Amino acid sequence: MANGSLLPSAGRLSLHSALAALPRAPQLASLLSLQSADPELAAIPWEYLHDGSDFLIFNYLVVREVPNAPLPEPPAPSLPWRLVAMGSDPLVAEVRDPQTGLFSGYQPLPPLKVVQELDLLRDDLLRQQPPAPIRWQRIAPTRQALIDDLATSDPLLFHYTGHGDVLNGKPLLCFDDGTGCMDARPVADLAADLRGLTAFAFLNACRTADSREPEANLALALVQHGIPAVLGTQYQVLDEAAAHFARTFYRFLAAGHHPAQALYRARLQLKNQFRGTAQEWAIPVLYLAHGHSWQVQRPTLSAPLPPLEPPPPRTAQLRAPEQLIGRDRELLDLARLFLIERQQIVTIRGPGGMGKTALVNALAQRLRFAFSDGIIALSLFLPGEHALLSAATVRRTLAELLGLQHPAFEQPEAAEAQELALVEALRRRPRTLLIWDNYETVLWRLGRNEAGAPHEAAFDQAQQREAAALQRLVRLLADQGVHLLFTTRQAPVGLPHEYFYPSAAQGHQLGGLQPDDSVRLLRGRVGQRIPSQAFLKSRALG
C-alpha cells in the first residue's frame, strides 16, 4: 500500500495529481471519502495509506462512506446536542457449554476505568469556552436504559465506552445487565434503540469497526441500519489512548467542527502523545452515510448546560482503597439482592480485615443508577476500643451529607427533632441507599457480642444510650422503607426483614480471598509501604 503500490504507474501519477490539487486538512474541502459497502473492502485498514511522504490521514480528512444507507431527518439546528454517555464495565460473563448451551459458570472480565474516563470527558465539556452547545447525560450501562432514557426532542450524540466483542464472526456491544454480568447485544438491537434519535455514535471500545473479520464491523453495520455517522475502532485500543482521543474529539466537535475535522485533530493528539506506538492514531475509523450532511451550527449558549446524571456516591468516609481486588462474585450477589430480589435491608457480616469496607465502596459505585437519589456512606469506626460514640455527631454528619438544613441541628439536645428531620428528608428521596459501615461499634455498646448474643456490656450507661439512639434512628429509617446496607462483625443489626450476607449456607460470614487474589492484594499493599528511617538505618548497618 505504501507509495501507491496497489496502482499501476499511470494510476499512481493521476492519484498524486488529484491529491496535489486538493486543499490540506483540516479544511473540509480536503475530505477524502472511501466509498464501499462491501465487507471485504471495508476490512482493509485504509487509514494506513501512505503516499511515499506521509500517511494520507495527516494531510487529508479521510472518512468512509456507505452507499445506499438510509438517511434520517436532519435535527433542528436551534436545539443543542445531547451527549448520552454510557460506560459499561461488567464484572463477569456467563460461560455456557458449547454443546448443550447450558450455563456452566462465570468468566471474570478485565476491569476498565470507565467512570474516571467519563468524568474527565464531562468536566472537559463543562469547562469549554465559549460554552459547548451540548447537554451531558450519563445513563446506566444497560440496554433498558437506552429504551427508558432517550425520550427527548434534543438531537442525540451517543457515546459508549466499554467492551466490544466479536462472537462467531458477528459484532457485539457488551452492556451490563445491571448487576455486573455482561449482556452482549447484536447490531439489530442497538440499531433499533438508536435509529431515528441518534445523529452520531462514538463506540469507544475495542474492535467496533473491525478490520480482521469482514462481517464483524459494528460501525459499518449501524450506518447500514440508519445511524448516519458512527466512529469505531479497527483493533484493540489502549485505555489511556481512547480516553485522550475522546476528549480531544468532542472538544473540536463542540466548537463547531465537522466530525471528520474533529477526528483529524484527535489523530494528531494521539500521534503526539504516543510517538512510540504508531498504530494508535490509525485505529479510529469514521463511517458516514452517503449523502449525509452534518449540521455544524448549534445554538450559542451563555452558560454551560447542567449535566443530567445521578449524583456520585458519597463514600469518602469509608476511606476504602481505589481498586477492589477479587470479590466479583460477592459484588454480583449483593447487586442482585437489591436489584432483582428487591431487598430493603442487607447486612454483610464477617471478621475484621476481610475487606467489607472495600466491598461496600465498590458496590456503591455499581449501584449508582439504581439509587438515583444518592448513595451515602457513614463510617462508625472509632480509633480505640473505648473511644466515645456520639449519636448527635452521627446525625449531624448524615444531615450534612444529605444537604439538609434544619434548625433542630442547631440544638444539641433536640435528638427527637433531628431524627424526625432525617426520616422526613429520606422519605422524600425513596431512591436513596444509606451505608452504615462498622455497625458493630453500635452493637457492642448495646451489649451484643460478635455472634449477636447478649452479653454484659463493657461500656458505661452513657455510651449505651448513644448506641440506643443510633439503633432507634436506623429502626425509624427502616420503618419508612429507606434502603439500608450494614457491615458488622457477624452480629445482626436486628431489624425486621434484614437479609444476612453471606447466607447461612455460606457460613453467615465473609471469607477470605481466593489464593491468586490474595497474592495480588499482598503485592499491592507491600508496594505501598514505606519503611521507617530506623529500619533503613538498621539494614544499612547490618
Rounded Cα distance between 228 and 220, Å, is 10
Instruction: Tell me which H or E stretch contains 288.
Output: strand 284-289
What is the chain's mean pLDDT, rounded?
Answer: 87
In eight-state DSSP terms, residue 500 is E
The domain defined by 81-289 carries CATH number 3.40.50: yes
Strand ranges inside 425-515, DSSP E = 432-437, 483-488, 498-501
Q: Please, what's the b/e burial string for 33-52 (b: 16 or more CB within 10 A of its CB; e: otherwise)?
A: ebeebeeeebbbbbbbbebe
At residue 480, does pLDDT exceed 90?
yes
Which among 20-34, 289-303, 358-372, 494-508 has the top mean pLDDT? Answer: 358-372
When pLDDT is cut at 50, 70 and 90, the band that residue 239 belongs to is: confident
Cβ neighbours for 506, distance < 8 A, ≥ 6 positions apart: none
Rounded to whole angstroms, the Cα distance separating 207 from 466 reads 57
CA atoms of 247 and 471, how far apart (whole Å): 47
For residue 12, pLDDT over 50 is answered with no
Give CA–CA dist 280/47, Å, rounded.
11
Distance CA 250, CA 233 (A): 16
Given a contact cutoff of 8 angstroms between Cβ atoms, the answer to whether 290 and 66 are in contact is yes
Q: What is the pLDDT of residue 51?
A: 81
Q: How far apart are CA 420 and CA 206, in angstroms?
A: 51
Q: How many residues are given for the chain? A: 542
State residue 419's pLDDT score. 97
pLDDT in tens, 450-476: 655 566 667 899 999 999 999 999 999
Fold of 316-513: Rossmann fold (3.40.50)
User: Is the pLDDT confidence value at 418 over 70?
Assistant: yes
Cα–Cα distance between 207 and 172 in angstroms, integer? 9
Mean pLDDT on 242-250: 91
Percent of the chain at pLDDT > 70 equals: 88
Q: Which residues of 369-382 are buried (b: 16+ CB within 10 A; e: fewer)?
A: bbbebbbbbbbbee
Whole-number percent of the chain with pLDDT over 90: 60
**Given a cut of 70, is residue 249 above it in pLDDT?**
yes
Q: Which of 62-66, 432-436, 482-486, 522-526 has the lowest mean pLDDT?
A: 522-526
Least confident interval from 182-191, 371-380, 418-427: 182-191
Residues of the chain with CATH 3.40.50.300: 316-513
Three-state DSSP at 532 gives coil
Query: Looking only at Cα atoms, what is the longest distance across the chain?
Result: 98
Distance CA 19, CA 245 (A): 27
Give the pLDDT of residue 1.
32
Strand order in the sheet with 432-437: 374-379, 432-437, 483-488, 345-349, 498-501
Closest CA to 419 of 398, 388, 445: 398
